[in-house]
C-alpha cells in the first residue's frame, strides 16, 4: 500500500524538533514493504497547499497524521495547538482524500478518543506506532475486520466504538532505528541547532503526579541493548553527517546501570559526538555517571529538578530530595557540563515560602551562565495521578478528558501571584528563562544564534546566547525600562493567565473551567 505520513507539528519552541517518532514508524512501514512518503509541515508556510500537492503527486491509499502536542505544556499562558492541526492539516486531508485518515503520536496516547472527536477522524493509533500501523495496513489491504486490533481507537457514527490497549513493541532492538531520518530533511532542522534524537528505552516506572510519559509509553522500562544503541548512533551519524545527538528518554539515567552501559558502549566507538539529554534525573546520579557522560561527549544537559524544596518535591511525586538536586548540580558544575535547570513552580503544597526556598537555592547553586527554566503552574492531563485525584475528590469527570487546558492552582494563593513573584526575580537574573513568555524567539533569531555559536563558540550551547543578550539589555538599562513598564501595566490590571481561575467550591458546579485547586 501507499501511505502518506504527515508531521503536523509546527510548534518550534524552544527549537524545531525533528519528527523522530514518525520517522520510527516510517522506517517500520517501509521495511514491511509499503511505499512511504513523509510530509513534514514543521517549516511549512502553506500547509494546505503542501498537503494538496503531496496527495496529488503520491496518490496514497492511507494518510497517517502524527499529532505531537496538545498545547505548549505551559501551566500559565497555555497555548492550545489543536485548532491549527484540525483546520490546516486534517481539514485539507479530508478535502483532498476520500480514503482512510488515521492519527497517532504522543497526543493520541494521552487523549485518543477525545482527539478523534475534536479532529473529526475515525481512527487513531494509541502508544507505539511501528507494529500497529503495519498491522493496520495489512488489515486494510486484505480487507480484514479492524475490530479488536490492539492499539486501535475507532469511531463510528460520531461515537467511540473501541479503544484498545496499545500494541507495545516488546523488543525495541528489532526496530530499524538507524533508518529513522531517511525521510527527514535533517539540514532544515540543523539551521536552528536541532540535534538528532535517540532513544535508549521506552516507558517509565516512576509516578510523577503531573507526567504523561507512562501513559504514552507504558509503566515499565523497555530497555534497548546498549551495543545496539551505539550501533544505531554510529550508522545515523555516517548517513547524516550530524554528530549533535539528543537522548529523548523520559529519564535518561534510570535505570542507572543501563545508562552507564550505554555510555560505555558509545565511548568504545570513539565517535566524537556532541551529546545532550532532556531527561536527566537528580535521583540517579553519582560521580561515575558524570565522568562517563563527559567522556562520551556530553557538554550540556537538561536537569529535571522541578523544585528545590522537599515539600514541593513530595507534592510532585518525586523520588529524590533537595539534597539530591544540589548534589547533581555540584557534580555537573565540577565537570563543567552546562546545565538547564528545569523548575516547575506551583505544584501541590507550593506556598510563597516554598517558592522562595526554591528560588534562593537555585540562585546559590547555579552558575550565572547556566539557564534556570521556570514553568508556572501544572497543566493537568488525562490519566496523570493529579488528574485522577482531582476527578475522584470532586466526584466529577471532565467531558473532554482534560483536552482543553486545565491548570492546577495551589491552595492559598493564585498563579498570578506566583507569576509576579517569579517575574520580579527574573528581572535581576539574566539566566532566568520563563517558559510561558520567553519561548517566542523568532526563527531568524534562532538561526543567527545557531550560526554565531557554531562559528565562534562551537563548544557552547546555543541557549547561552539568550543569557548574553539579557545581560546586554540589563547593562544598557533596557531591562529596567521593561520592569517599570511591567509594573505600571500591572498596577492597573492584574496579570492574568489564559485559564479561568476556579475555586474548590466552584469545581463541582463548573468543571469546564481552566484552573483548579486540590
Same domain, 298 and 256: yes
Q: What is the mean pLDDT of residues 241-245?
A: 95
Kindly tell me if the per-residue pLDDT of 481 is higher than 90: no
Residue-wise pLDDT for 160-191, tens only, equals: 999 999 999 999 999 999 999 999 999 999 98
- CATH number of the domain that 41 lies in? 3.40.50.280
How many domains does one find in the chain? 2
Q: What is the mean pLDDT of residues 302-310?
A: 97
Same domain, 420 and 288: yes
Same domain, 125 and 190: no
Domain assignment present for residue 426? The answer is: yes
DSSP 145-209: --TT-TTEEEEETTEEEEEPPP---S-GGGS-GGGGGGGS-HHHHHTTTPPEEE-SEE------T
Same domain, 140 and 260: no
On average, the pLDDT of the chain sits at: 89
Single out the residue in 163, 182, 210 at which a domain terminates: 163
Single out the residue in 136, 163, 190 at which a domain terminates: 163
Kindly tell me if the per-residue pLDDT of 496 is higher than 80: no
Kindly tell me if the per-residue pLDDT of 213 is higher than 60: yes
Same domain, 131 and 30: yes
Kindly tell me if the per-residue pLDDT of 439 is higher than 60: no
> Residues 6 or more apart from 479 whose CB is under 8 A from it?
427, 470, 473
Q: What is the pLDDT of residue 441?
A: 62
Share of the chain above pLDDT 90, in %: 75
* Contact criterion met (CB below 8 Å) for 142 and 103: no
Residue-wise pLDDT for 20-46, tens only, equals: 999 999 999 999 999 999 999 999 999
Domain assignment present for residue 498? The answer is: no
Share of the chain above pLDDT 70, in %: 91
Q: Identify which of 32, 55, 59 has the alpha carbon closest to the alpha carbon of residue 137.
A: 32
Q: What is the pLDDT of residue 392?
A: 79
Q: What is the pLDDT of residue 438?
A: 66
Domain assignment present for residue 516? The answer is: no
Domain assignment present for residue 512? The answer is: no
For residues 220 and 206, what is the distance between their CA atoms, to the nearest angstrom? 8
Characterize 75-88 residue by residue with b for buried, 16 or more Cβ atoms within 10 angstroms of its Cβ, and e for exposed.
bbbbbebbeebbeb
Kindly tell me if the per-residue pLDDT of 493 is higher than 90: no
Same domain, 97 and 184: no
Q: Are strands 2-7 and 62-66 parallel, antiparallel or unpaired?
A: parallel
Kindly tell me if the per-residue pLDDT of 450 is higher than 90: no
Supply the range of the domain harboring residue 434. Answer: 172-474
Kindly tell me if the per-residue pLDDT of 490 is higher than 80: no
Same domain, 31 and 78: yes
More confident residue, 271 or 392: 271
Kindly tell me if the per-residue pLDDT of 328 is higher than 60: yes
Same domain, 137 and 200: no
For residues 248 and 50, what is the distance between their CA atoms, to the nearest angstrom? 29
Kindly tell me if the per-residue pLDDT of 103 is higher than 60: yes
Q: What is the pLDDT of residue 475?
A: 84
Domain assignment present for residue 508? The answer is: no
- Residues facing residue 4 across a β-bridge: 37, 63
Q: What is the pLDDT of residue 498?
A: 39
Kindly tell me if the per-residue pLDDT of 500 is higher than 60: no
* Contact criterion met (CB below 8 Å) for 259 and 229: no
Q: What is the pLDDT of residue 131?
A: 98
Same domain, 203 and 55: no
Domain assignment present for residue 429? The answer is: yes
- Residue 484 CA, chain-centre distance (Å), reads 34
Same domain, 22 and 132: yes
Domain assignment present for residue 486? The answer is: no
Single out the residue in 105, 137, 163 at which a domain terminates: 163
Same domain, 122 and 191: no
Domain assignment present for residue 126? The answer is: yes
Burial status of residue 160 (CB atoms within 10 A of its CB: 0-12, 13-18, 19 or more): middle
More confident residue, 140 or 514: 140
Instruction: Find where cell 516554598 sits.
Output: 354
Judged by average pLDDT, the poorest of 110-124, 229-243, 364-378, 394-408 is: 394-408
- CATH number of the domain that 299 lies in? 3.80.30.20
Kindly tell me if the per-residue pLDDT of 489 is higher than 80: no
Q: What is the mean pLDDT of residues 435-454?
A: 71
Q: What is the pLDDT of residue 390?
A: 82
Q: What is the pLDDT of residue 494?
A: 40
Kindly tell me if the per-residue pLDDT of 279 is higher than 90: no
Q: What is the pLDDT of residue 217?
A: 94
Same domain, 186 and 150: no
DSSP 293-340: HHHHTB-EEEEEEE-S-HHHHHHTT-SS-HHHHHHHHHHHHHTT-EEE
Residue-wise pLDDT for 420-434, tens only, equals: 999 989 988 999 999
Q: What is the mean pLDDT of residues 232-249?
A: 95
Amino acid at each position: 500500500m501507499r501511505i502518506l505520513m504527515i508531521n503536523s507539528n509546527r510548534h518550534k519552541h524552544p527549537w524545531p524538533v525533528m519528527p523522530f517518532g514518525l520517522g520510527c514508524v516510517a522506517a517500520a512501514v517501509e521495511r514491511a514493504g509499503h511505499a512511504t512518503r513523509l510530509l513534514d509541515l514543521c517549516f511549512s508556510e502553506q500547509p494546505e497547499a503542501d498537503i494538496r500537492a503531496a496527495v496529488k503527486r503520491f496518490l496514497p491509499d492511507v494518510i497517517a497524521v502524527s499529532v505531537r502536542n496538545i498545547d505548549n505544556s505551559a501551566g500559565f499562558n497555555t497555548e492550545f495547538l489543536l485548532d491549527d492541526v484540525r483546520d490546516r492539516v486534517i481539514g485539507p486531508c479530508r478535502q483532498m482524500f476520500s480514503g482512510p485518515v488515521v492519527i497517532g503520536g504522543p497526543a493520541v496516547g494521552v487523549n485518543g478518543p477525545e482527539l478523534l472527536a475534536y479532529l473529526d477522524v475515525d481512527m487513531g493509533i494509541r502508544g507505539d506506532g511501528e507494529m500497529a500501523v503495519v498491522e493496520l495496513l495489512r488489515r486494510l489491504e486484505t480487507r480484514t475486520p479492524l475490530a479488536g486490533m490492539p492499539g486501535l481507537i475507532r469511531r463510528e457514527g460520531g461515537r467511540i466504538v473501541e479503544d484498545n490497549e496499545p500494541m507495545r513493541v516488546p523488543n525495541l532492538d528489532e526496530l530499524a532505528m538507524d533508518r529513522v531520518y531517511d525521510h527527514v530533511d535533517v539540514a532544515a532542522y540543523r539551521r536552528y541547532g536541532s540535534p538528532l534524537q535517540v532513544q535508549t528505552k521506552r516507558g517509565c516506572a516512576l509516578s510523577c503526579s503531573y507526567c504523561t510519559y507512562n501513559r504514552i509509553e507504558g509503566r515499565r522500562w523497555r530497555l534497548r541493548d546498549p551495543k545496539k544503541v551505539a550501533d544505531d548512533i554510529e550508522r545515523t551519524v555516517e548517513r547524516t553527517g550530524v554528530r549533535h545527538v539528543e537522548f529523548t528518554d523520559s529519564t535518561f539515567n534510570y535505570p542507572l546501570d543501563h545508562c552507564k552501559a550505554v555510555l560505555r558502549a558509545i565511548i568504545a566507538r570513539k565517535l566524537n559526538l556532541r551529546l545532550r539529554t532532556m531527561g536527566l534525573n537528580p535521583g540517579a546520579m553519582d560521580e561515575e555517571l558524570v565522568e562517563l557522560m563527559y567522556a562520551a561527549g556530553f557538554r550540556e544537559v537538561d536537569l529535571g529538578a522541578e523544585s528545590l524544596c522537599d515539600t514541593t518535591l513530595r507534592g510532585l511525586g518525586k523520588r529524590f530530595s533537595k539534597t539530591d538536586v544540589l548534589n547533581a548540580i555540584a557534580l555537573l558544575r565540577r565537570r563543567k557540563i552546562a546545565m538547564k535547570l528545569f523548575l516547575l513552580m506551583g505544584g501541590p503544597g507550593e506556598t510563597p515560602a516554598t517558592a522562595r526556598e526554591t528560588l534562593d537555592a537555585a540562585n546559590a547553586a547555579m552558575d550565572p551562565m547556566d539557564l534556570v527554566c521556570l514553568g508556572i503552574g501544572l497543566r493537568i492531563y488525562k490519566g496523570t495521578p493529579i488528574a485522577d485525584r482531582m476527578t475522584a475528590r470532586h466526584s466529577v469527570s471532565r467531558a473532554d478528558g482534560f483536552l482543553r487546558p486545565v491548570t492546577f492552582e495551589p491552595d492559598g494563593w493564585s498563579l498570578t501571584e506566583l507569576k509576579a513573584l517569579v517575574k520580579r526575580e527574573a528581572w535581576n537574573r539574566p539566566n532566568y528563562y520563563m517558559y510561558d513568555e520567553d519561548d517566542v524567539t523568532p526563527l531568524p533569531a534562532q538561526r543567527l544564534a545557531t550560526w554565531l555559536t557554531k562559528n565562534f563558540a562551537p563548544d557552547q550551547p546555543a541557549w547561552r546566547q539568550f543569557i548574553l543578550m539579557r545581560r546586554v539589555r540589563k547593562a544598557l538599562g533596557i531591562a529596567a525600562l521593561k520592569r517599570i513598564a511591567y509594573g505600571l501595566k500591572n498596577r492597573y490590571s492584574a496579570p492574568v493567565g489564559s485559564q479561568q481561575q476556579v475555586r474548590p467550591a466552584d469545581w463541582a458546579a463548573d468543571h469546564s473551567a481552566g484552573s483548579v485547586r486540590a
